[in-house]
Structure 1
Amino acid sequence: MRSDPDFAEPIVDKPLAPSSGTTLAWTWLGVALVNMLVPGGLGLLLTFNAGLVGMALGIAAVLGLGWYAAHIVPQVVRTVVHGGWIVAVVQFFPLLQIAAGSVGVEIVKALGLAEDSNPTIGTVSGGFLATIITAALLIALAWMLGLVGRAVAFLVRRVGGWGASEPIPKEA
């Protein structure tokens, strides 16, 4: 313990708030689950038997890695979460989700883990890989959209708003 001669009490390091990473992890979980509505529904149409097990394992892996990342690299997860809300809204016109899922299925087909004539996935490894690929593509998109959003927010704060002549003071 350190002490300061100007004060009677010893100086102690303030511990980090334990809830900060946990709150972000719960936010990540919410955004991820909302973003699984369309891709998960389409995935259920394309998988059967063991493929469903692989899909469930892939979902668990994505959710678990995001939860872990929220505690290790919170800035990255925060960026993904911000962009993830945009990706979630886009599900009303799900071209991006369909494209990401198609890429995942095509890669799994190319590896011989899905039937060629009928793109259904019946293996654990096929379901897992298709889920991971689809999620990775959508997470990358969310991250890019989050970066754009953060850049715009930074520029607005730096310039002081759209067309403002003086920057907004930091106290505001």
Structure 2
Amino acid sequence: MKYTPKDGFPYYFALVKDMDCPSLFSDSSTRTFLNAISEKKAVYRYASDKWSIKQVVGHITDHERIKMFRAFLLSRNQSIELWGYDQNALVDNGRFDELSFKQLIADFVNVRNASISFVDTLSEKQLKLKGMARQYEITLEDFLKSIIGHERHHINLIKERYI
């Protein structure tokens, strides 16, 4: 079965396959790809009602920031539902197009480094803890993998529709 972004977690899992969390978070291909995009190109939108590349990068960073906080709570065995958020409201209020692309990449890298630091502290037992995310019961490990799957989804869109 082929999943689409509307399927959520199964789609994101398919993008990361069976890689382990430390390898996924330490992969630098997104950073390398983003550093090759010019400031001029970073404001490009492939349609008037779509986000700019800057906004996409801001969204990826916001998503990771939000999801890592939820992952932290789950890792501490807090019985929580891993709730959603309004991505359009966050992007609309993010000021991403006002910031330089270098600032946005630096923010992405800083958030990623914090994520790596957190992931590196997790035990196998913690990675197996489960929480609810929408209609799915999901392990912390799979929840973390979905963060990178989400990133890959957006990087693939940039490659297909913006570049």
Q: Is TM > 0.5 for Structure 1 vs Structure 2?
A: no
Q: Which one has a bigger Cα radius of gyration?
A: 1
Q: Which protein has greater RCO, CA pairs closer than 8 Å, 6+ apart?
A: 2
Q: Please give the TM-score of this superposition, normalised by the length of structure 1.
A: 0.29
Higher helix fraction: Structure 1 or Structure 2? Answer: 1
